[in-house]
Structure 1
Amino acid sequence: MTEQRIRREAVSEQLFTLLRDRILSGDLAAGVPLTAERELAAEFGVNRHAVREAVKRLQQARLVEVSHGGRTMVLDWQRTAGLDLALQLAHTERLSTSYDLRRDVLEMRASIGADAARLCAARCPDRTAAEIVSAAAAYINTGPDLTDLAAADVTWWRLIVEGSGNIAYLLAFNSLVGEGFTAGEVPTELRATELLDVAGHMKLAALIASRDEQGAEAAARALLARSVPVTPHTREPEGGTP
């Protein structure tokens, strides 16, 4: 039995976090039953109501599946969980060496931003296109403080993503720029090359206004890729895997 005990405040929330981390780290492997309710209550010194609430949250996060017979099975979270789990992965220390979440999120940001720019060029009203150009022009006079540039950049990109007319992209954007998400925690210094590329912002705005879909996509990808960390490319040796 573990020596760890739960603080009495937000008991079910703390228990959820502990069980979630066991699942994400592999201590509770996919396909095995979750520790029985009675055993969890005894291990952590909590009542069974707190355990049920924690398990309910695990189920909502698609980390476990509760069968009609009462057995709770651990799921393969890489196949069942959603984007909201990225928020939790960012704060799970034992996974920090297994996943480069900062890189992965910034790559996703570049991909979504590039396609959103393409769609914006194709779909946005003329009024929105004019606002994007105006916001890019105002960007020239922002800074040189990187924090101010980052705030102006978010405002400008929001116009583009809203102009794409894709609600899924907009909700993903809200998560990406939300407080506490990995992309939002990237120090602005690491995004300096992107943020200081005023010409890139102006070029993208002009391409959207001219309705150049492919040009806007390429320009957006080039701009956002400036913030994606470069990682070595792993290649198999010639002749295949020995």
Structure 2
Amino acid sequence: MTFVPVPRGSVSDHVFAQLRDAVVSGAYRPGDTLPGERELAAAFAVNRHAVREALRRLQQLGLVRVSQGGATRVLDWRVHAGLDLALSLVRSGDVLPVDTLVRDMLEMRACIGVDAARLCAERADAATRDTVTRAVEEYAALAPDLPRMAEANITLWRHVVRGCGNTAYLLGFNSLVAGALAVGEVPPQRRAAELLDVAGHRRLAAAIAAGRGDDAARQARSLLTAALAAPAAPGQECRA
């Protein structure tokens, strides 16, 4: 594997990114041993501290296992990595295309959202149901301003996911909306059918308020799968 000497800005970031991409792309396979710190420092034309920091970050992502005083062995990222890797890869579209990552995360968002809506209808207390109803009306008042609706939509769904009482769903939701929805910055126009369906959001809130779990799940599915059926238009691709 040939590495490229890096510019002097955030040196460890560049070392980390190249090693990460080499692992995810398969240039290094699970079980392979990475070159030693001295060899990597020479290849990148950086000091060993930058290499050590990059390896530490790779280990945190579940891409390698660093043995104290020994070899750095590559792990199978499909087994050991989590959502943090997707958030990192969004800046490396040549390894896993950004549009593919966004599609995958929108699909995950829909799966979590559908069940969270059902559970919120079944488990939420009266105060949470009222909060969801108010959030929908505040959301509706922003139409047709898509960028502001997109922000309010995150707030609305945060109430729903909190109300469902599932901590794993909440943590997954936090990862999905960290920085920008579904990893990449999905243009609101791509989600126009979902965002502008104010009536659909009101039906969702009504189902949650009435404790109708199956109805809430059906309405959530209708809303959250709309973006999956809408390909990115020219000039509206997902941006890192």
Q: TM-score, normalised by structure 1?
A: 0.88
Aligned-pair identity in percent equals 51
Aligned twin of 1:85: 85
Q: Does 1:4 align with 2:4?
A: yes
Q: CA RMSD in A?
A: 2.1
Taking a change above 3 Å as real, the CA distance of residues 212 and 174 of structure 1, as seen in their structure-2 partners, is same
Q: Deviations over 1:141-177 (max 9, x none)?
A: 2221111211221121111111111222122222222
1:123 CA drift (Å) = 1.3
Supply the AA of the counterpart residue of 2:171.
L
The aligned length equals 231
Structure-2 separation of matches of 1:6 and 1:210:
58
Taking a change above 3 Å as real, the CA distance of residues 96 and 65 of structure 1, as seen in their structure-2 partners, is closer
Structure-1 separation of matches of 2:90 and 2:3:
26
Structure-2 separation of matches of 1:152 and 1:230:
21
Taking a change above 3 Å as real, the CA distance of residues 23 and 184 of structure 1, as seen in their structure-2 partners, is closer
Aligned twin of 1:52: 52
Taking a change above 3 Å as real, the CA distance of residues 167 and 79 of structure 1, as seen in their structure-2 partners, is same
Which stretch of structure 1 is more off in the superposition, 197-206 or 69-78?
69-78
Do the aligned residues in 2 keep the contact of 1:120 with 1:208 (CA within 8 Å)? yes
- Where 2:73 maps in the other structure, the secondary structure is strand
Which stretch of structure 1 is more off in the superposition, 110-119 or 135-144?
135-144
Supply the AA of the counterpart residue of 1:22.
A
Aligned twin of 1:125: 125
Supply the AA of the counterpart residue of 1:200.
G
Q: Does 1:228 align with 2:236?
A: no
Which stretch of structure 1 is more off in the superposition, 131-140 or 100-109?
131-140
Structure-2 separation of matches of 1:185 and 1:98:
10
Structure-2 separation of matches of 1:184 and 1:32:
31
- Where 2:225 maps in the other structure, the secondary structure is helix
Which stretch of structure 1 is more off in the superposition, 138-147 or 18-27?
138-147
Unaligned segments of structure 1, at least 5 residues? 232-242
Aligned twin of 1:177: 177
- Where 1:95 maps in the other structure, the secondary structure is coil
- Where 1:70 maps in the other structure, the secondary structure is coil
Taking a change above 3 Å as real, the CA distance of residues 33 and 109 of structure 1, as seen in their structure-2 partners, is same
Taking a change above 3 Å as real, the CA distance of residues 80 and 181 of structure 1, as seen in their structure-2 partners, is farther
Aligned twin of 2:153: 153
Structure-1 separation of matches of 2:215 and 2:29:
46
Larger radius of gyration: 1
1:83 CA drift (Å) = 0.9
Q: TM-score, normalised by structure 2?
A: 0.88
Do the aligned residues in 1 keep the contact of 2:24 with 2:95 (CA within 8 Å)? yes
Structure-2 separation of matches of 1:3 and 1:217:
49
Taking a change above 3 Å as real, the CA distance of residues 49 and 102 of structure 1, as seen in their structure-2 partners, is same
Aligned twin of 1:27: 27
- Where 2:94 maps in the other structure, the secondary structure is helix
Do the aligned residues in 1 keep the contact of 2:191 with 2:226 (CA within 8 Å)? yes
Structure-2 separation of matches of 1:198 and 1:183:
25
Taking a change above 3 Å as real, the CA distance of residues 183 and 189 of structure 1, as seen in their structure-2 partners, is farther
